[in-house]
């Protein structure tokens, strides 16, 4: 898979921010049609520990990552449950091996062997943007699930 730059990610974010509500829903439907298993996984009970706002945020971040990848690489082969399960398991194993205390430092291991550094930085920044703000809607518990969710999506679409 070709490298997805921060410039592409920012362009996709800007496009999504300027969309009419119904157009956003059309893009989500296109995502669901192109990646039915991956899309269903994002809406599954796997993410039940997230608040409703966090679930929506994960889905929004996933749409950004998906559209950015497709913009650079064209349509991706539909992901399977096995691919998602294996990628997710690998990501949680990587997270578990980190002995760092701060969440941001625990994510360093993901940047060591990736071809998509900008997409990972996007996911990292998205979950840590307001980490010191007690009003942030991304909870401490939600950070891990959201980051691993976006990272898993990137891994699956990359292969």
Query: pLDDT digits over 43-71, tens only?
Result: 999 999 999 999 999 999 999 999 999 99
Specify the pTM: 0.94
Does the pLDDT value for residue 132 go beyond 90? Answer: no
pLDDT at residue 140, rounded to an integer = 85
Q: Which domain holds residue 148?
A: 6-158
Does the pLDDT value for residue 15 go beyond 70? Answer: yes
| Average pLDDT, integer, range 32-46 | 96
Percentages helix, strand, coil for the chain, rounded to the nearest 5? Answer: 70, 0, 30
How many domains does the chain divide into? 1
Q: How many CB atoms lie within 10 A of CB 84?
A: 22
Residue 1 within any structural domain of the chain: no
Contacts of 38 (CB under 8 A, 6+ apart): 78, 79, 84, 153, 156, 157
Expressed in angstroms, the distance from the first to the final Cα of the chain is 8
pLDDT bracket for residue 137 (50, 70, 90): confident
pLDDT bracket for residue 113 (50, 70, 90): confident
pLDDT bracket for residue 131 (50, 70, 90): low
Query: Do 116 and 4 meet the contact criterion of CB atoms below 8 Å apart?
Result: yes
| Average pLDDT, integer, range 7-17 | 97
Higher pLDDT: 38 or 137? It is: 38
Residue pointed to by tokens 């939600």: 142
pLDDT at residue 81, rounded to an integer = 97
Q: CA–CA separation, 119 vs 123, rounded Å?
A: 6
Q: In a 10 Å sphere around its CB, with 0-12 CB exposed, 13-18 middle and 19+ buried, how is residue 15 labelled?
A: middle
């Amino acid at each position: 898979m070709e490298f997805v730059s921060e410039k592409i990610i920012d362009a996709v974010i800007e496009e999504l921010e300027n969309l009419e509500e119904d157009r956003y829903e059309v893009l989500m439907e296109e995502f669901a049609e192109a990646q039915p298993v991956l899309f269903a996984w994002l809406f599954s009970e796997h993410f039940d520990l997230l608040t409703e706002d966090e679930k929506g945020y994960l889905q929004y971040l996933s749409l950004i990552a998906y559209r950015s990848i497709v913009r650079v690489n064209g349509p991706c082969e539909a992901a399977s449950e096995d691919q998602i399960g294996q990628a997710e398991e690998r990501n949680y194993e990587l997270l578990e091996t980190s002995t760092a205390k701060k969440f941001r430092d625990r994510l360093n291991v993901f940047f060591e062997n990736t071809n998509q550094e900008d997409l990972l930085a996007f996911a990292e920044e998205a979950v840590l943007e307001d980490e010191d703000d007690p009003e942030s809607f991304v909870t401490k518990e939600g950070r891990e699930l959201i980051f691993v969710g976006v990272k898993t999506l990137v891994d699956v679409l990359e292969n």
